[in-house]
């Protein structure tokens, strides 16, 4: 993208980064992008989907934080590496040593999937930082989490030997508070969430949201309410859950609901869900599910 399209902040070394002006820090393997707006700071991390766009690119949640008036420190990676690199933590530590974070009254580290792993891992570097993680992995080290076999190419090409920041579960005791959002119908995400559980961690189960729960949150119109409520209270509550009622109109969620009901061999529930969805719109997957149920169970036909 051209600089004029992105309105890139001025580039500077991390040692010159200050909380009262925009900046961008570029290293060999990671980048920082800072937008000062208020005393609430969101520190966002790339996920596997954002990395499909070439750098320079806007940091994750750039538009959302602008809408909410929150400052944003985007931590961006050069590869789908779960931030298993030296540059990102070194830059965050340097900002800590310079007192960069001292200006902010509330600091939220956040990310989805790979970004959730990084948010959990790096938040203890900043005193008082809380974490909002969507579908995070606790680690991709199969010696620690043998149940995790996804993303084979990216995992194979990433360092899972160096011990620093290897396991986000080890960071959890050092967090003042965290919220982990996951779909319990995704076995790997459920097991990662179990590894990340603790009394001070709010576990939010979004049934049928898939590993891409963040997309269901966005399509439900709950992304900004989620960030606002978490920034204000340190957990999710009525504002978020009320908005998430809209998930029933999200095609991705609806397809996952039908798929999960079919896998669980619940013909009556599948038929009821399919009829409800077909009353809302022309969902081909719901029509096919309905036909399959009635073919196998003609006694269920009205």
Residue 269, CA distances (Å) to 246, 259, 262, 265, 288 in order: 20, 12, 9, 9, 15
The per-residue pLDDT string of the chain (302 residues; one tens digit each, 9 = 90 and over) reads: 444 478 999 999 999 999 999 999 999 999 999 999 999 999 999 999 999 999 999 999 999 999 999 999 999 999 999 999 999 999 999 999 999 999 999 999 999 999 999 999 999 999 999 999 999 999 999 999 999 999 999 999 999 999 999 999 999 999 999 999 999 999 999 999 999 999 999 999 999 999 999 999 999 999 999 999 999 999 999 999 999 999 999 999 999 999 999 999 999 999 999 999 999 988 999 999 999 998 989 898 86
- Of the candidate CATH numbers 3.40.50, 2.20.200, 3.20.20, 3.50.50, the domain formed by 3-249 belongs to 3.40.50
Q: Which residues of 281-294 are buried (b: 16+ CB within 10 A; e: fewer)?
A: eebeebeebbeebb
Q: 117 is written with which tokens?
A: 């792993």
pTM: 0.95
DSSP-H helix ranges across the chain: 3-6, 62-68, 87-97, 114-122, 152-156, 187-195, 213-219, 223-233, 238-243, 251-263, 267-280, 284-296
Where do the domains of the chain lie? Answer: 3-249, 252-300
Contact 224, 64 (CB under 8 A): yes
Q: How many CB atoms lie within 10 A of CB 71?
A: 20
Contact 52, 76 (CB under 8 A): no
């Amino acid at each position: 993208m051209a600089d004029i399209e992105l309105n890139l902040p001025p580039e500077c070394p991390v040692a010159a980064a200050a909380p009262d002006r925009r900046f961008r820090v570029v290293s060999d393997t990671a980048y920082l992008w800072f937008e000062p707006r208020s005393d609430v700071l969101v520190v966002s991390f790339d996920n596997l989907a954002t990395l499909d766009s070439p750098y320079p690119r806007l940091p994750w949640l750039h538009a959302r934080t602008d809408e909410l008036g929150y400052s944003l420190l985007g931590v961006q990676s050069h590869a789908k590496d779960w931030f298993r690199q030296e540059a990102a933590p070194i830059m965050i530590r340097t900002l800590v040593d310079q007192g960069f974070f001292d200006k902010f009254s509330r600091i939220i580290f956040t990310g989805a999937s790979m970004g959730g792993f990084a948010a959990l891992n790096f938040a203890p570097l900043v005193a008082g930082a809380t974490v909002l993680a969507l579908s995070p992995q606790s680690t991709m080290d199969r010696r620690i989490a043998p149940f995790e076999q996804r993303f084979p190419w990216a995992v194979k090409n990433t360092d899972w030997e160096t011990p620093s920041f290897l396991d986000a579960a080890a960071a959890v005791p050092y967090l003042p508070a965290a919220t982990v959002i996951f779909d319990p119908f995704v076995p790997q995400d459920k097991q990662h969430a179990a590894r990340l559980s603790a009394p001070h961690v709010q576990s939010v189960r979004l049934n049928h949201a898939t590993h891409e729960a963040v997309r269901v949150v966005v399509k439900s119109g709950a992304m900004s309410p989620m960030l606002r409520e978490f920034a204000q209270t340190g957990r999710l509550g009525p504002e978020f859950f009320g908005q998430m009622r809209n998930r029933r109109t999200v095609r991705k969620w609806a397809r996952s609901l039908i798929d999960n009901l079919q896998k669980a061999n619940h013909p009556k529930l599948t038929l009821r869900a399919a009829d409800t969805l077909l009353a809302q719109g022309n969902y081909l997957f719901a029509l096919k599910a309905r036909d399959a149920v009635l073919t196998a169970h003609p006694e269920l036909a009205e």
